[in-house]
Amino acid sequence: MALQDTLNQMLQEAAQAVREARDASGLDELRVRFLGKKGSMTQILRQMGSLSPEERPVMGKLVNEKRAELEELMEARRKALVEFEKRMRLASEKVDVTLPGKEPAVGRLHPLTLVQRRLEEIFIGMGFEVVEGPEVELDHFNFELLNLPKDHPARDMQDSMYITDNILLRTHTSPVQARTMLTHKPPIRVICPGRVYRFDEVDATHSPVFHQIEGLVIDKGIHMGHLMGTLETFAKELYGDGVKIRCRPSYFPFTEPSSEVDISCYMCGGHDDHCRVCHGTGWLEVLGCGMVNPHVLEMCGIDPDVYSGFAFGVGLDRLTNIKYGITDLRNNFENDLRFLSQV
């Protein structure tokens, strides 16, 4: 019969296509193509109306048999594909436990962190305590308690980042010293590390965000000799026994008398006119310091007739650049792995 020949031909075509199917999605397409509502098998069933009553039962039985045969073929192919995909996945996920392990990349501490931790070790060894305070500060602590009157140039809006008339991003870590004097009775020995903020253009030596460590000592009988001894110890511990310090008179509202402090160039010792660190001067400016102004002690509730003290402030970025020979301040903030991996 012509219809039977069509059925056999369709079955042969379907069997060949099923054997060549490469994945489950392709097999689903074949199921729709041959067994779906509009598939080849359905088209053959619709032609049975042209058969004689005697032929219809025979042809119907044959179609059902072939349909079942094709479904079994598709199911067998589906199982084979699932098994093949499983083997391929296991092969791709195979781990050779005899191979040596890969050592993971380990990060490094930032140069600023290394120097800050070293400074904290040095000062803790001298009996100091590390204290911290808020970066968003009240004008009262940032300026007023530090003997900075309303008309002082340091309060200019071009230097300080004000949020409101009385709130700003701290311009130094000195307000932590003021807070400490208000809440602690002498003797006081603290250092105050942290970020500070000032309006400044970004270049190789300036940044609107930088880091400071300030120190404060309040006790009976404190004098400039204690200050110089503390600073000399800190410099030698950080840069080596050969480092020397020198003081130059200066002015800070917070201290009286006040000094700028230089250290001898640890790179050339002042003997190289072409030194890339000190540029041949032999000295590097590192900090400001002085004896705490008696008026500041009074404002913070400490009797200046009984107690005296000294304070100093050092730029952590400056110390870090000197120690590691960093010539561009921006390297400390850009997180370039090529730079960080050199430390």
pLDDT-based confidence at 336, cuts 50/70/90? Answer: confident
- pLDDT one-digit tens code per residue, 288-297: 999 999 999 9
Contacts 24+ apart (CB under 8 A), 65-70: 66/7, 66/8, 66/11, 66/41, 67/35, 67/41, 69/11, 70/11, 70/14, 70/15, 70/18, 70/34, 70/35, 70/41
Summarize pLDDT for 133-142 with one digit per residue, the tens: 999 999 999 9
Higher pLDDT, 232 or 32: 232
Q: Which fold has domain 111-340?
A: BirA Bifunctional Protein; domain 2 (3.30.930)
pLDDT at 49 over 70: no
Query: Residue 128 — very low, low, confident or very high, per pLDDT cuts 50/70/90?
Result: very high
Instruction: Using the predicted structure, report yes or no on whether residue 240 has a pLDDT greater than 80.
Output: yes
d(CA 143, CA 93): 64
209 vs 74, higher pLDDT: 209
Segment holding 195, helix H or strand E: strand 188-197
Q: ∠ CA 313-152-252 to the nearest 5 degrees?
A: 30
Task: Supply the pLDDT for residue 269.
Answer: 67
Per-domain boundaries in the chain: 2-92, 111-340
pLDDT single digits (tens) 212-235? 999 999 999 999 999 999 999 999
Residues of 275-284 as b/e, b for ≥16 C-beta within 10 angstroms?
bebbeeebbb
* pTM for the predicted model, two decimal places: 0.67
